[in-house]
C-alpha cells in the first residue's frame, strides 16, 4: 500500500483514538487519499483500510475495544448514529463529553459487532454477531 495512504490512515486512526477529528473530517481525508472502504472490528479494536486494487492495511485502535451484546437492535443502532449526528450538528465539530469511545460502546451495547464504510457508496453497514445489519447512508463528501 502507498506510503501516503498508510500515513493518512494512521493519522485518522489516531484522530479517532484521541477524539481530535470528526467523522466527516476523517472520511474526507481517507477518501481523498484513495481509501475505498474500511472494515472495523470493535471487539478486537482494529480497522482494515482497503484501496480499490484490493490492498489493505490493518491498524489497531485500542480505545475502541468494546463488548458486544448478543442481540442486534437496529433501532438502538440508528439512535446511536442519530445521537452522534446531533452532537456534531450542535457542536459544529468536536463536542466536549462526546467521544468515539462512547459511540462505539453504545453501538456494542446495541449489538453492533462491526461495520463496513464504503466511501464510493456513501453508506455504512453496521452488523451484529449473527448477521443482522443496518445500512446507514451518509451525505456526499465535500
**Rounded distance between C-alpha atoms, residue 82 and residue 50, angstroms:** 26
Q: Give pTM, 2 decimals.
A: 0.88
Give CATH for domain 3-137.
Answer: 3.30.1810.10
pLDDT band, residue 3 (cuts 50/70/90): very high
Average pLDDT over residues 54-81: 88
Other CB atoms within 10 Å distance of the CB of residue 65? 17
Q: What is residue 125's predicted lDDT score, i.e. its pLDDT? A: 97
Q: What is the residue extent of each domain of the chain?
A: 3-137
**Rounded distance between C-alpha atoms, residue 142 and residue 103, angstroms:** 23
**Rounded distance between C-alpha atoms, residue 142 and residue 125, angstroms:** 21
* Neighbouring residues of 12: CB distance < 8 A, sequence distance ≥ 6: 21, 26, 29, 30
pLDDT at position 138 over 90: no
What number of CA atoms fall less than 13 Å from residue 132's CA on the CB side? 13
**For 135, left (φ over 0), alpha (ψ -120 to 50), or beta?**
beta
Q: What is residue 45's predicted lDDT score, i.e. its pLDDT? A: 84
Average pLDDT over residues 49-71: 86
Q: What percent of the chain is modeled with pLDDT above 90?
A: 56
**Rounded distance between C-alpha atoms, residue 141 and residue 45, angstroms:** 26
Amino acid at each position: 500500500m502507498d506510503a501516503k495512504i498508510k500515513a493518512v490512515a494512521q493519522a485518522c486512526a489516531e484522530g479517532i483514538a484521541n477524539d481530535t477529528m470528526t467523522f466527516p473530517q476523517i472520511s474526507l481525508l481517507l477518501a481523498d487519499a484513495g481509501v475505498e472502504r474500511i472494515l472495523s472490528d470493535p471487539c478486537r479494536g482494529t480497522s482494515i483500510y482497503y484501496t480499490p486494487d484490493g490492498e489493505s492495511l490493518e491498524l489497531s485502535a485500542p480505545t475502541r475495544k468494546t463488548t458486544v451484546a448478543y442481540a442486534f437492535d437496529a433501532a438502538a443502532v440508528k439512535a446511536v448514529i442519530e445521537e452522534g449526528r446531533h452532537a456534531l450538528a450542535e457542536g459544529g465539530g468536536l463536542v466536549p463529553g462526546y467521544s468515539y469511545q462512547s459511540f462505539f460502546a453504545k453501538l456494542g451495547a446495541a449489538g453492533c459487532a462491526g461495520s463496513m464504510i464504503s466511501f464510493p457508496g456513501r453508506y455504512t453497514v453496521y452488523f451484529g454477531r449473527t448477521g443482522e445489519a443496518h445500512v446507514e447512508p451518509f451525505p456526499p463528501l465535500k
